[in-house]
């Protein structure tokens, strides 16, 4: 049964130098929170169950919580600030190229 609503929370704990994740799930007006993960020894023939399966909206909410907690992608691809800077740089280079070629009408 899919929960009515799940919510991720993330925060940086400086005393542990680690990010902490919290998950609450509300189902039929009862709110639950996730606690421990059980570790089971893996053998060569063990089938691994996923710790958690997230639907797209739940995965997006987790990413948003990680971002709000201060985590950023290692390579930083896709950030709006970088994209805007790249677009401005390309516009400047386009303007310089058109000026150097003597092409008018390009801004």
Per-residue pLDDT for 105 more than 70? no
How far out from the chain centre does Cα 13 lie? 19
Residues 16 and 46 in one domain: yes
Residues 80 and 67 in one domain: no
Domain that holds residue 15: 5-71
Mean pLDDT of the chain: 82
Site of tokens 């996923």: 50
Residues 10 and 62 in one domain: yes
How many structural domains comprise the chain? Answer: 2
| pLDDT score for 78 | 58
Residues 47 and 90 in one domain: no
For residues 24 and 8, what is the distance between their CA atoms, to the nearest angstrom? 7
For residues 102 and 107, what is the distance between their CA atoms, to the nearest angstrom? 12
For residues 26 and 5, what is the distance between their CA atoms, to the nearest angstrom? 5
Residues 39 and 67 in one domain: yes
Produce one character per residue of 51-75: b if its CB has 16 or more CB atoms within 10 Å, e if not: eeeeeeebeebbeebbeeeeeeeee
Residues 100 and 80 in one domain: yes
Residues 83 and 66 in one domain: no
* This prediction's pTM: 0.56
4-38 pLDDT per residue, tens: 688 888 888 889 888 888 988 888 889 999 888 88
Residues 81 and 107 in one domain: yes
Q: Please state, for a pLDDT cut of 90, what percent of the chain lies above it.
A: 6
For residues 19 and 21, what is the distance between their CA atoms, to the nearest angstrom? 7
Site of tokens 């039929």: 28
């Amino acid at each position: 049964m899919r929960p009515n609503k799940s919510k991720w929370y993330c925060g940086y704990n400086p005393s542990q130098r680690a990010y902490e994740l919290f998950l609450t799930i509300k189902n039929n007006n009862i709110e639950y929170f996730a606690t421990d993960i059980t570790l089971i020894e893996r053998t060569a023939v063990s089938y691994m169950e996923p710790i958690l399966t997230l639907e797209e909206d739940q995965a997006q909410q987790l990413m948003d919580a990680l971002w709000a907690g201060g985590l950023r992608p290692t390579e930083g691809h896709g950030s709006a600030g970088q994209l805007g800077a790249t677009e401005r740089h390309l516009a400047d280079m386009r303007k310089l190229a058109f000026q150097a070629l003597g092409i008018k009408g390009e801004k």
